[in-house]
Amino acid sequence: MNPSLPTENSPTTNETPLAGSPAFSPLYQQIKVLVLQSLQQGEWKPGDPIPSEFELAARYKVSQGTVRKAIDELAKNHLLVRRQGKGTFVATHAEQQVQFRFLKLKPDVGDIASQGPAKRDIIDCRRLQASSELAQTLGLLTNDPVLQIRRVLSFGGTPTIFEEVWLPGQPFKGLTAERLRADTGPMYALFETEFGIRMVHAQERIRAVNPSLEQAHWLQVDASTPLLRVERLSFTYQETPMEWRIGVYRTDQHHYMNELN
């Protein structure tokens, strides 16, 4: 009946081989996994349209309603974008509405656009070997090659964010400071267009700190100015960690905005 599906679970009742073992996944969840695999394997690239609901229903041998439920959830997770009358598309960080989806720092007055475009200054981009901690965080081996990017973001002429970004060397082979400086858009958009890597989800840990000397220098503040220190671990499809980032944020004219639901 569903030859292309990984597990068969239509008959009378779902087998529960071990007590407490789940061993049951609704069809639409299985469809989600299959779609995710196609996304991960690059069958559909960021910005591309995916097949219509009816085509997918035919491909997976399920009803259109089941495909719909799977896509609904992926769209709510911002992995796909639905456009009525046009189709369903692979989401991208380049879209205007979500330009700064992972940047929660907002100006105290006005919005992010009112101060003109952000100025992005790449300090450097170096090839390093992963420390054991970094390797563990990114799912690498100690001493595996990594890239470290350091940069300053300025809003309205004021340096506001200084951050260090670490990326696994393998998937980002060929990334250089020159390549980064040539680009004026969000870094995450460049990751998608140049390397086909889309950051899907991230978690941040935030503390209040005083800056190091280096941080104070780049942000033009003195050593007693309290700053937000934001650690971010970003994930691509399938919860694969792909980026580690430590930023310090000035909060004299900005604040970190968060919605609790």
Partner DNA sequence: CAGTGGTCTAGACCACTGG
Partner DNA sequence: CAGTGGTCTAGACCACTGC
Positions that interact with DNA (CB under 7 A): 12-14, 24, 26-29, 50, 52-55, 62-66, 68-69, 82-88
The option from DNA, its own copies, none interacting with 97 (CB < 5 to 8 A, set by class) reads none
SS3 213: helix
| Nearest C-alpha neighbor of 190 from the set 113, 240, 243 | 243
* 181 is a site residue for its own copies (CB under 8 A): no
* 28 is a site residue for its own copies (CB under 8 A): no
* 256 is a site residue for its own copies (CB under 8 A): yes
Enter the DSSP assignment of 211. P
Nearest distance in Å: CB 193, DNA: 21
* 77 is a site residue for its own copies (CB under 8 A): yes
Which residues between 98 and 117 bind its own copies (CB under 8 A)?
A: 101-102, 104
* 142 is a site residue for its own copies (CB under 8 A): no
Sign of CA dihedral 22, 23, 24, 29: positive
Phi, psi of 235 (to 5 degrees): -120, 145
Separation CA 108–CA 254 (nearest Å): 5
Separation CA 32–CA 99 (nearest Å): 26
Q: Which residues bind its own copies (CB under 8 A)?
A: 77-78, 101-102, 104, 201-210, 224, 226-228, 232, 249, 251, 255-261
